[in-house]
Structure 1
Amino acid sequence: MPTDYDMGIIRKRVADNGYKTDGFPGLKFKAYLVSEASESGNLYNAYAPLYVWNEADGMNKFVFEGYYDNILGSFGWQQIQIGVPLYLDLAENFSKSNYVVEAAGRISENKTLTQTTFMDAGDFAIGEQLGKCLIYNPDKWGYSQFTFYKEKPEIAQDAPVTVYEILHISQ
């Protein structure tokens, strides 16, 4: 989103509608993520909802049975980035998360993937972690590792991560 986009619009949208995905069939969780250009040196505004599905049927219902139409109506045609969870480790109090730190990277071409290493966002942030997940995309050989926090973590200077505020978590 442009740096001059009024992120209050997104905040109001989530405040008014975030609950609508609470208990959605097949959804493990949806975290409504935002970052703002005016905060912590972020270079741009972003609205980046993160969905983790228990099953494909839930996502198919969301996309093709009219629920995604709300996004199309508000933001136009969007590319849905798809990933496969490699691991998901959520604390019992995960729903109290207010921030998430994302470390994104590429999976290098190799003769074997058994020794693949991934950057861990938690290595660049100091704070009590409430969960972690790593999602990869074998079509593009990219990945994102997310670490969740209740309090805004302290981030190492020049860390290659993005910090998002979580406006709502649906489970």
Structure 2
Amino acid sequence: MHAMNYRITLPADYDMKIIRRRVETKGHLLDGFPGLGLKAYLIRERGVDGSPVNEYAPFYLWNTERGMNSFLWGPGFQGLVDDFGRPVVQHWTGLGFARGPAFARTPRTATRRVRPLGPGDAHAAVIDRALDDLAEQAAHPGVHSAAVAIDPRHWELLHFTLREDGAPQEALVDGTEEHFQVLHLSAPGLDAIETGRQW
């Protein structure tokens, strides 16, 4: 499993209906994309749920590198580049994935939490705790699914949770946490995402 996210920050007065229409008309194009576990079409709107910005921030879980590469070097991503410029594409190696009680329902919100690992952190212990937290988070009512991944270049841990509702998340201990609306979920390989520890 590979996690991928890019974020397009838009002007404060940007009409987010433009992004909503874009997802309505193009979101289904990845509903059958080979190698894709899921793509959550995420937005934040300035002044909604505490967001300081307007942002379009699609998040992906890939089952195969071939699928991820086909997307990044294909016409779909190029269309986004043509419309918005080339974004920084963040990516993480998957550590774990879990299904929640609302797995059969459509997620409406998402949470993205990033925690940097300090130079003195024992990486194996941190990852073990993150996987324990993953199982606990995924068991909460309203959770569709949750994933944890790591970027070993910048040494940061990513927790990503999809929910069927906007119920409040656990209190944040450290790192940064952001909340998003999910406009559409393309999930052609959702059932193929391996659950539990990814190694």
TM-score range, shorter chain: 0.7 to 0.9
C-alpha separation between the residues in 1 aligned to 2:56 and 2:141? 23
* Residues 113-128 of structure 1 mapped to structure 2, 5 A cutoff: 113-116=123-126, 117-118=129-130, 127-128=141-142
Asked whether the 8 Å contact 1:5–1:45 carries over to 2, the reply is: yes
**Structure 1: 5+ residue runs without aligned partners?**
none
Q: Does 1:41 align with 2:55?
A: no
Say if 1:158 and 1:2 are closer, same or farther in 2 by CA, change over 3 A.
farther
C-alpha separation between the residues in 1 aligned to 2:78 and 2:161? 30
Identity of aligned residues (%): 27
Q: Does 1:86 align with 2:95?
A: yes
* Structure 1 position 129, deviation (Å): 1.3
C-alpha separation between the residues in 2 aligned to 1:94 and 1:132? 14
1:130 corresponds to which residue?
Answer: 144
Q: Which moves more between the two structures, 81-90 or 109-118?
A: 109-118
1:15 corresponds to which residue?
Answer: 24
> RMSD over aligned Cα, in angstroms?
2.5
Say if 1:138 and 1:95 are closer, same or farther in 2 by CA, change over 3 A.
farther
Asked whether the 8 Å contact 2:103–2:143 carries over to 1, the reply is: no
Asked whether the 8 Å contact 1:127–1:154 carries over to 2, the reply is: no
C-alpha separation between the residues in 2 aligned to 1:53 and 1:83? 10
User: Secondary structure of 1:139's match?
Assistant: coil
Q: How many residues of Structure 1 are paired with residues of Structure 2 in the alignment?
A: 169
* Structure 1 position 95, deviation (Å): 5.3
C-alpha separation between the residues in 2 aligned to 1:63 and 1:166? 21
User: Secondary structure of 1:82's match?
Assistant: strand
Asked whether the 8 Å contact 1:127–1:152 carries over to 2, the reply is: no
Aligned counterpart in structure 2 of residue 105 of structure 1, from 109, 115, 137 = 115
User: Secondary structure of 1:136's match?
Assistant: strand
2:37 corresponds to which residue?
Answer: 28
After TM superposition, the score normalised by the length of structure 1 is: 0.87
* Structure 1 position 89, deviation (Å): 1.1
C-alpha separation between the residues in 2 aligned to 1:158 and 1:90? 21
C-alpha separation between the residues in 1 aligned to 2:73 and 2:38? 19
C-alpha separation between the residues in 1 aligned to 2:103 and 2:51? 28
